[in-house]
Amino acid sequence: MSPIQEAPVARSQSRSCPLCSGKAEVLFAATDENHHVSQIPYTYLKCRGCNGIFLENPPVDLGRYYRSDYYAIPSFEQLQKVADKDHNKIDTVRRFVTEGRLLEVGPAFGVFAWQAKQVGFVVDVIEMDARCCAYLQGTLGVNVTQSGDPQEAIKALPPHDVIAIWHVLEHLADPYAFLSSAAANLKPGGILVIAMPNPDAWQFKVMGRHWPHLDAPRHLFLIPEVTMTRLAAQVGLKKLFLTSDDSDAKSWNRFGWQRLLMNRFSSKFMQRVMFVLGYGISLFFAALDRQGFNGSAYTIIFRKNEP
Ligand SMILES: [Zn+2]
């Protein structure tokens, strides 16, 4: 039997949902299959009210799960190359706002922040990793706030026309508090852009607790789009745009298949084989991954109402 099957399943039978206070029940226990920092099983609960999924007891030593090789810092030339390759994120933002002050939360080494600066935005970032902060400030010349608590850090910043948070909200201890702080900071008419794993994804139904986008225990929440829209409305934000089939989602669909297979092997050779096989499988299942709202990740944009 695998360590996952031997794992204790739950510490409690029910708990109230941090998003809606509804009753939440055990969904499954999952281990860190993506990075193997530990074999400890982590219990995820699912809310009966809003279908939100959350980690029952986030590890007290969560920082340990973000190893220093989580981000490999590129040279400026490498970063520019990546930035030139895919403009989907910045193009999506510019459909709604084309100038002004933009904040990115959790930029890592800043591909999107750099694209935003190149098209003329004044760019602020909130990032927790010290090496990334040095690179963002020194090499990219954007305004850096170093913090692992963005909903607090944002309160000290000037108002923004755009706040973007790409695949970071699911890592935060209190996503609603972040939404609330972001809404308070936005200028009237400003937009909040969120991308995150999609718990309505077809891959999640097929792969369950082995779905790489669960990323236990780093992902503390998986929030369905419907719930996100309702939470945003509570803080005065109105949905403008939604997709689970942009180039971002498509790359995460591919990643889901590749990583699922790679996670089954420890040898580098077999991981390379599975990387190629996973790519092939992702092409085979692309029609299903791209149907309806099946994509592995979604991007959603909200606008703050004019007064
Ligand atoms: Zn709930």
CA–CA–CA angle 6, 11, 17 (5° rounding): 125
CA of 30 to the centre of ligand 1 (A): 20
Q: Average pLDDT for residues 218-237, to the nearest whole number? A: 97
CA of 67 to the centre of ligand 1 (A): 31
**Is the torsion defined by CA of 126, 199, 211, 219 positive or negative?**
positive
Angle, helices 247-262 vs 268-284, to 10°: value is 130
Closest CA to 163 of 185, 145, 137: 185
CA of 210 to the centre of ligand 1 (A): 23
Residue 290 pLDDT greater than 80, yes or no? yes
β 297-304/160-166 pair status: unpaired
CA of 84 to the centre of ligand 1 (A): 40
* Structure confidence by residue, pLDDT tens digits, 115-130: 999 999 999 999 999 9
* Structure confidence by residue, pLDDT tens digits, 234-249: 999 999 999 999 989 9
Neighbours of ion ligand 1 (CB under 5 A): 17, 19-20, 22, 47, 49-50, 52
* Structure confidence by residue, pLDDT tens digits, 61-98: 888 888 766 667 899 999 999 999 999 999 999 999 99
Closest CA to 176 of 220, 136, 210, 133: 220
Q: What are phi and psi of 195, to 5 degrees?
A: -125, 140
CA of 11 to the centre of ligand 1 (A): 19
Helix (H, G, I), strand (E, B) or coil at 300: strand
CA–CA–CA angle 304, 92, 19 (5° rounding): 50
Supply the pTM of this predicted model.
0.91
| Cα–Cα dist 250/129, whole Å | 27
Helix (H, G, I), strand (E, B) or coil at 77: helix
